[in-house]
Amino acid sequence: MITAHHKWDLSTCELLEVRCLLSAGGNIDTSFGVNGYLNGYRAEALLGGSIIAQNVLNGKQGLATPDGKHIAPYSGATPKSPPLNVQADGKYLTLANGVLTRFNPNGTIDKTFGVNGKVTSFAGSSANSVFSPSNVIVHANQIYLVGPFRVNPSDFPADQEHPAVERLTLNGSADRTFGVNGLAVDPFDGDGYLPFLYSSGYFGPDGAFYTTWSSSDDAVIARFSPAGVCDGSYHVTSNEIGDDAVSGMQFEPDGKILVLATLQAYNLSLIRLNHDMTPDATFGYRGVVAVQPSMGQVSVDGNLDPRGVLLLRADGEIIVGTSGYVPVDFTIAYRPDFPANSGAVSGRFFNDINGNRKQDSVEPGLAYWQAYADLNNNGIEDAGEPAGFADVIGNYSIKGLKPGTYIIREVRQDGWTRTTPAGAWPLGYYKVTVKANQTVTGVNFGNSNLNHAKGSISGTIFNDINGDRLQDNGEPALAGWQAYVDLNDNGVYDSGEPIATADKNGHYTITGLQQGGYVVREIRRDGWSRTTPPGDWPLGFNGVNLAAGGASTGNNFGNVHAS
């Protein structure tokens, strides 16, 4: 039974700018997006590790890379109904006006789901259903709906409303084996107040299903057993002066729980709890890191991508000077701590063009592929299994592994044939032994694609006189400067690496490139400082994920002379 109650005094908490990535211990980590901030977009869902994000102000959807540095248009969902859950086959679920709908990857309705693609029976039409569910979670081939439950939906007495979870099968029908007739209710938290904000549900390492919500200004977590029995509610906060709400929760590799909450009149905060639900004093101030804005109305939620990075989406209004309420959309992320004395596995994904099972000097890495520790050896990446996403040139690392022996596999990609490690299922994996505080290296995956069409990378090198990172009118080109593909990512041009020289307009094009991920750098000149891409080594490059036969443009370099 979860019975503990805790409050925090946020008056002495450090306030962090919202436009940032929070690292272990709550420190800013600028490796995500631009200075830790995915500008103007809020994360809605995950698709193969990439981030489906929405810009509410203009209604546009975007697909951001896992590192948050690049975003491209995405048309897989309508702006008014962003995907709440994306399945492995690309189908996605939306929830709007009490209707659960499943779409195909091309945006058409999947008529095999529910009744002509929709499920509405839970929307208060039955006494045994969740009333107006607010979130959808898909786990282990089952769909979970979180929302308030009414004993009799035809009545409206608030004292008969309780937080609840309803479980459906993947085809949209009720799963009667869960709870009572498919419904699990929290009997400990029905105090006559309709919860104003619901969050998603989460699966813990203990196999339990956790839900979060606000009830009578208390931020609450409840835990349901795998069979659908609620074994208690935990009040993260109890505040009589403002609307407290837990709106995101994730489990870290060591089992600690990270909670996202709005506390004391819209203070957006991250809270880390120990296994026994007490605050983790090693995190922030007494377990809390407060995140600006401290005033305004902010709605928040969270996703945990397979790298163990918590992506938080938010939208709402903040007070800025005398301008009044200003709309904001932002995405921040949190990199978790890893258990003490844990180890890691690292390697590289590469395009094995000639199929010789080793990465030759001209063979590029494969950007954003994923490796995972297959704990149950079923050949599928299951929720909670340690995983790592490759960077733009294919390097990956799976961290936080307790000492022991692991089977390491890759998540397969359509159109590709694995060359190393060789063998069809159940082969094609590495068996590695991890020791405390050590990293097993060289766990590489080679893959070959029959489409060997060559592509190009281009951009402009210019004199950024005013240092604004853009080539403005009157800012001249830097003819004769050179850009190259840094195949080994050592920051130095090596003989044999593809290179191009800028013409009189500063334009360069590197040709003859196979499908894969590339780091594009410029050859520096004495007396000049680079303005874009920003950052000193190992930053200051353009990361390109090049498609077969593709042409990547706009990979520009701005420089300003010291004089």
The model's pTM is 0.63
pLDDT for residue 216 = 56
Q: What is the pLDDT of residue 407?
A: 97
Q: Please state the three-class secondary structure of 292-340 as a single string.
A: CCCCCEEEEEEEECCCCCEEEEEEEEEECCCCCEEEEEEEEEECCCCCC
Beta strands across the sheet bearing 387-389: 387-389, 370-373, 404-410, 430-434
- Quick check: 412 and 447 in contact, CB under 8 A? no
Joined together, the tokens standing for residue 400 give 């936080």
Write down the residue that tokens 């309508």 correspond to.
Answer: 78
129-141 pLDDT, tens digit per residue, is 566 677 777 777 7
What is the pLDDT at residue 21?
35
The structure tokens listed for 320 are 């800025």
Instruction: State residue 3's pLDDT score.
Output: 32
What confidence score (pLDDT) does residue 84 get? 65
SS3 442: coil
3 state DSSP class of 172 = coil
476, 458, 474: which is closest to 559 by C-alpha? Answer: 476
What is d(CA 469, CA 557) in angstroms, rounded to the nearest whole number?
8
Strands 557-561 and 528-532, sheet pairing: antiparallel
How far apart, in Å, are the Cα atoms of 267 and each of 13, 241, 272, 423? 11, 12, 16, 53
Assign 3-state DSSP to the chain and report helix, strand, coil percentages, each to 5.
0, 45, 55
- Tell me the per-residue pLDDT of 469-513, one tens digit each, with 9 for 90 and over: 889 999 999 999 999 999 999 999 999 999 999 999 999 999 999
- Give the CA radius of gyration of the chain: 25
Report, as ranges of residue numbers, the positions in the chain whose pLDDT lies below 50: 1-29, 77-80, 123-127, 153-159, 191-197, 238-242, 265, 292-298, 318-325
CB atoms within 10 A of CB 296: 18
Q: How far apart are the first and last CA of the chain?
A: 69
What distance in Å separates the CA atoms of residue 25 and residue 270, rounded to the nearest whole number?
A: 11
| 151-to-113, 124, 398 alpha-carbon distances in Å | 27, 10, 46
The residue with tokens 């709400």 is 245
